[in-house]
C-alpha cells in the first residue's frame, strides 16, 4: 500500500495546479489520472484568458502556478480585449498550440517530485467523517491525509449527439461513474450541468478568402512575470457568420437536438449558449458570429467557435456548409454536448474543504464552475489549504478585495450556482482594485510568505513597486509649462500658458504617459510600470472610494460568528434567510453579508444575535 500526504484525483487544469502547488510544501503528493497522455488537456477552445478570465490567470501566476507560464510558452496569438474601456475590464487572451500546452503542463508536473499514477479512482474512503484515502478500479487502496477531487466533466458524464447517448467523460474517454456514486454515498447533494464543444474542421477545406482576418496584436503583455512570450509563429484567426439558411436547418430539425428533445436534463450556461439555443432564443438575428481558431502550428485542425451544438452528425455537416467560407469544409471531429454531475458548492468551506468530510477538497467543475481558468484557480487554492492543514498552519483565505479568486470562491460557497459558473468582471465589487495588471502587487507578498514563489521573484516585484513609486514622485514634483512643453494640450480657463505638475496634468483625459514619453519628458521607466502609474493617478478618486468600501468589508470580516449559533433563534431574520444561514453556516459577518437575499436589517439582526450569544 502506498501512502501520500495529498492525493489529487484528475489531471486537468484544476488537478495540475493542485498537484504543483502541493508539491511546493515539501509533502508527498500524488496525482491520479485515467490517462497520462491527457494531462493539461484543453477539451474545448485552445485558448487561455479572455474577459475576466485573464485576471484569474495573472493571479495564478502571482501565486506561483502553472497556467500563465504554460500559456506564454505555447501562445500562437496574443490579443488584448476591451482596449477602449477602463483598465479594470481590459483582458489578455492567447490562442495556444493545444498539444504544446499539454506537454508544457505535463513537463512541469514530471519535474516537480509529484508521484504520477495512471488509474481510475472509484471510491473515496473515510473513517467516520475524516478522509483516509482512495480506492482505484483494481481495488487497490492508497492512503492519504487529504484528497482533492478535480474530476471535470467525468462524473457520470454522458455525451449527446442528436438521439445518440454515449457514456463518456470526454470524446473517446471513459467517465467516472463509481466516483460520482461514492460522493453521493458520502451524503453530498449533487446536481447536473451541461456544456459542449463545437466541431473541428480541416483548414485546407476552408475558403479563407471570404472570411474576415483577425491578426495577432504586435504589442502585448505576457501572462507571466517570468515570460517574454512564446517565440512561436503568431497566426491569425478568421471570422464569419451563420446565415438564414443555417437557422432554417436548425429550426426545421430542432426536435432532433438533444437539448430540445428532453434528452439533456443538465442545466446549460446562459452566457455561452449552443448554436441551436441561439437560433431559437434570438431568432430575430440574421447571423451569429463564428470564429475559426487555429488548434496549433503543426496541425490542420481548426476550432469552429460558435458552431457548438447537440444535433446529429448529418445535420452538423449541413450547418457547417451553410456558413460563408465553410461551404466545402470537412468536419474532422464533430460537435457534441456533455452533461455531468457536480456537487452543490454551498457544502464547502472557503478553503474548498467539504464541511461534512474532513480532509476532502473539491476543485473545478465538480463545484459547478465552467472554464479552464476558474478550475485552475480552485485547484491551487484547494491544494494550498490542504497542505497548510496537514502542516498545522492557518488556512489561506483571500477576501473579495484581494483577488478574483476570492470573489469566485465566495460566490460559490455562499450563494451556490444553478448553472455553470463563469467569472465576469461584473461579479467583483472592487474591480478597479483587481486589475489584471496589478495582480503581482496584490498577491506576491502573501505567495512568498507561503513559499509559493522564489526569492528572485519577490525581489523583482519589489523593484517594480519601487519603480512605480519613484515615477509617481517624479510626476508629482516635476512641472511643465502648457502649451510650451506639450503643444497639443491647452491651458485651462483661457490662459495663454499654465505651469502645472505632470501628475495633475495626467489626470486630464487627453494626456497620457505615452504622450509624455513622445515628448521626451519621462525618465527611464518600463511600459508596464508607466501604465500602472497612469491608472493610479487618473483613477485616484475612484480608487480612494473603493479603499474605503474595502475597509468596511474588512471590519465585517473581523466579526466572527459562533459555530454553534442558532440562526432560527435570531429575531428579525426572514425564514428564507434563516434557512440559508443554517445551510451555509458563514464563519464571519462579512461572509454572511454575501448570502443571496441578505439585507442591512438581516446583518443587524445577526450582529445582535452574536452579542446575545456572548461572543
Phi, psi of 31 (to 5 degrees): -115, 120
Contact between 54 and 182 (Cβ < 8 Å) = no
10 and 157 co-located in one domain: yes
439 and 533 in a single domain? The answer is: no
- For the segment 527-546, the average pLDDT, to the nearest whole number, is 92
Q: How far apart are CA 262 and CA 198, in angstroms?
A: 20
Question: At a CB cut-off of 8 Å and minimum separation 6, what does 460 contact?
Answer: 225
Q: Which of 346, 43, 79, 24 is nearest to 171 (CA)?
A: 43
Residue 362 and residue 235 share a domain? no
Assess whether 16 and 140 both reside in one domain: yes
Domain count, the chain: 4
Ranges 92-96, 219-223, 277-281, most confident: 92-96
**Between the CA of residue 339 and those of 32, 237, 276, 450, what are the distances in Å?**
22, 29, 17, 37
Q: Are residues 290 and 317 in the same domain?
A: yes
133: its cell numbers? 484515502
Residues 353 and 390 placed together within one structural domain of the fold: yes
C-alpha cell at 11: 489531471
Cell of 301: 485542425
212 pLDDT above the threshold of 90: yes
pTM of the predicted model, to two decimals? 0.93
| DSSP structural state of residue 408 | H
pLDDT-derived band at 251 (thresholds 50, 70, 90) equals very high
The reply to whether omega before 483 is within 30° of 0 (cis) is yes
Domain with 482 in it: 455-543
Domain assignment of residue 87, yes or no: no
Residue 553 lies in a domain: no
Give the largest Cα separation in the chain, rounded: 86
Q: Do 437 and 577 fall into the same domain?
A: no
Specify if 536 maps to a domain: yes
Residue 287 and residue 236 share a domain? yes
Question: Do 532 and 581 share a domain, yes or no?
Answer: no
Cell triple for 131: 478522509
In a domain, 120, yes or no: yes
**Residue 91 and residue 49 in contact, taking contact as beta carbons nearer than 8 Å:** yes
Considering the domain architecture, whether residues 327 and 204 belong to the same structural domain is answered as yes
pLDDT in tens, 478-506: 999 999 999 998 888 777 888 999 999 99
pLDDT, tens digit, 9 for 90 and up, residues 88-115: 999 999 999 999 999 999 999 999 999 9
We report the CATH number of the domain holding residue 396 as 3.50.50.60
Q: Which residue carries 447517448 as its cell? A: 165
Which of 310, 336, 362 lies at the terminal end of a domain, its last residue? 336
Average pLDDT (504-526) is: 92
Boundary of a domain, candidates 511, 543, 575? 543
Please say which residue of 336, 355, 374 terminates a domain. 336
Burial of 416-450, coded b for 16+ CB within 10 Å and e otherwise, reads: bbebbbbbebebbbbbbbbbbbbbbbbbbbbbbeb
Residue 164 lies in a domain: yes
Q: Give the integer Cα–Cα distance in Å for 496 and 510.
A: 19
Question: b/e per residue, 472-490, with b = 16+ CB within 10 A?
Answer: beebeeebbebeebbeebe
**Average pLDDT score over residue span 429-449:** 94
Per DSSP, 367 falls in state G
As a whole number of angstroms, the distance between CA 608 and CA 601 comes to 11
What CA–CA distance (Å, rounded) separates 221 from 234? 15
Residue 615's pLDDT band (cuts 50, 70, 90): low
Assigned domain for 321 exists: yes
Query: Is residue 67 in a domain?
Result: no
Are residue 293 and residue 207 in the same domain, yes or no?
Answer: yes
- Phi, psi angle pair for 467, to nearest 5°: -60, -40
Task: Check the CA dihedral 355-359-364-365 and report its sign.
Answer: negative
Count Cβ atoms below 10 Å from residue 236 Cβ, excluding itself: 18
Q: Averaged over 212-226, what is the pLDDT?
A: 90
Whichever domain contains 592, its CATH number is 1.10.150.570
What 3-state DSSP class applies to 354? strand
The domain that holds 329 is classified in CATH as 2.40.30.260
My answer on whether 269 and 150 are in the same domain is no
Q: Which residue has the higher pLDDT, 286 or 132?
A: 132
In a domain, 330, yes or no: yes
Amino acid at each position: 500500500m502506498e501512502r501520500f500526504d495529498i492525493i489529487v484525483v484528475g489531471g486537468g487544469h484544476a488537478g495540475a495546479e493542485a498537484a504543483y502547488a502541493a508539491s511546493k510544501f515539501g509533502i508527498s503528493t500524488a496525482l491520479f489520472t485515467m490517462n497520462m497522455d491527457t494531462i493539461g488537456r484543453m477539451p474545448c477552445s485552445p485558448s487561455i484568458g479572455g474577459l475576466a478570465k485573464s485576471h484569474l490567470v495573472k493571479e495564478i501566476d502571482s501565486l506561483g502556478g502553472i497556467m500563465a507560464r504554460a500559456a506564454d510558452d505555447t501562445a500562437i496569438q496574443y490579443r488584448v480585449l476591451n482596449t477602449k474601456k477602463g483598465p479594470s475590464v481590459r483582458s489578455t487572451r492567447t490562442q495556444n498550440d493545444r498539444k504544446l500546452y499539454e506537454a508544457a503542463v505535463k513537463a512541469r508536473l514530471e519535474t516537480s517530485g509529484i508521484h504520477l499514477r495512471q488509474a481510475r479512482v472509484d471510491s473515496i474512503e473515510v473513517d467516520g467523517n475524516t478522509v483516509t484515502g482512495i480506492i482505484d478500479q483494481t481495488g487497490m487502496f492508497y492512503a492519504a491525509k487529504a484528497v482533492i477531487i478535480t474530476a471535470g466533466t467525468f462524473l457520470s458524464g454522458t455525451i449527446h449527439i442528436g438521439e445518440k447517448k454515449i457514456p463518456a467523460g470526454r470524446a473517446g474517454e471513459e467517465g467516472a461513474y463509481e466516483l460520482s456514486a461514492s460522493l453521493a454515498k458520502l451524503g453530498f447533494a449533487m446536481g447536473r450541468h451541461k456544456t459542449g464543444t463545437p466541431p473541428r474542421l480541416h483548414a485546407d477545406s476552408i475558403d479563407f478568402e471570404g472570411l474576415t482576418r483577425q491578426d495577432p496584436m504586435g504589442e502585448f503583455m505576457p501572462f507571466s512575470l517570468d515570460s517574454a512570450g512564446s517565440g512561436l509563429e503568431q497566426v491569425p484567426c478568421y471570422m464569419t457568420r451563420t446565415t438564414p439558411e443555417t437557422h432554417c436547418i436548425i429550426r426545421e430539425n430542432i426536435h432532433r437536438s438533444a437539448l430540445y428533445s428532453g434528452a439533456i436534463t443538465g442545466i446549460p450556461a446562459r452566457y455561452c449558449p449552443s448554436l441551436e439555443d441561439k437560433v431559437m432564443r434570438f431568432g430575430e438575428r440574421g447571423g451569429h458570429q463564428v470564429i475559426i481558431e487555429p488548434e496549433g502550428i503543426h496541425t490542420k485542425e481548426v476550432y469552429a467557435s460558435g458552431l457548438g451544438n447537440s444535433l446529429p452528425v448529418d445535420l452538423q455537416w449541413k450547418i457547417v456548409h451553410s456558413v460563408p467560407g465553410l461551404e466545402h469544409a470537412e468536419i474532422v471531429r464533430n460537435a457534441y454536448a456533455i452533461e455531468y454531475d457536480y456537487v452543490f458548492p454551498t457544502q464547502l468551506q472557503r478553503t474548498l474543504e467539504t464541511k461534512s468530510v474532513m480532509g476532502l477538497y473539491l476543485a473545478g467543475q465538480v463545484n459547478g464552475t465552467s472554464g479552464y481558468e476558474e478550475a485552475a484557480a480552485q485547484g491551487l487554492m484547494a491544494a494550498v489549504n490542504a497542505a497548510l492543514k496537514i502542516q498545522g498552519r492557518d488556512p489561506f483565505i483571500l477576501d473579495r478585495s484581494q483577488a478574483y479568486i476570492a470573489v469566485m470562491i465566495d460566490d460559490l460557497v455562499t450563494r451556490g450556482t444553478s448553472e455553470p459558473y463563469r467569472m465576469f468582471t461584473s461579479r467583483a465589487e472592487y474591480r478597479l482594485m483587481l486589475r489584471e495588471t496589478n495582480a503581482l502587487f496584490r498577491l506576491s507578498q502573501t505567495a512568498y510568505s507561503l513559499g509559493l514563489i522564489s526569492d528572485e521573484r519577490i525581489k523583482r516585484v519589489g523593484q517594480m513597486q519601487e519603480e512605480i513609486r519613484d515615477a509617481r514622485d517624479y510626476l508629482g514634483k516635476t512641472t511643465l509649462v502648457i502649451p510650451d512643453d506639450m503643444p497639443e494640450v491647452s491651458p485651462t480657463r483661457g490662459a495663454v500658458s499654465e505651469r502645472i505638475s505632470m501628475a495633475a496634468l495626467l489626470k486630464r483625459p487627453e494626456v497620457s504617459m505615452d504622450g509624455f514619453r513622445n515628448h521626451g519628458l519621462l525618465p527611464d521607466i518600463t511600459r508596464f510600470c508607466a501604465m500602472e502609474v497612469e491608472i493610479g493617478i487618473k483613477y485616484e478618486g475612484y480608487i480612494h472610494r473603493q479603499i474605503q468600501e474595502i475597509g468596511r468589508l474588512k471590519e465585517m470580516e473581523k466579526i466572527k460568528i459562533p459555530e454553534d449559533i442558532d440562526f432560527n433563534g435570531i429575531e428579525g431574520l426572514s425564514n428564507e434567510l434563516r434557512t440559508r444561514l443554517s445551510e451555509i453556516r458563514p464563519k464571519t459577518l462579512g461572509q454572511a453579508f454575501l448570502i443571496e437575499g441578505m439585507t442591512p436589517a438581516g446583518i443587524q439582526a445577526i450582529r445582535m444575535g452574536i452579542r446575545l450569544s456572548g461572543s
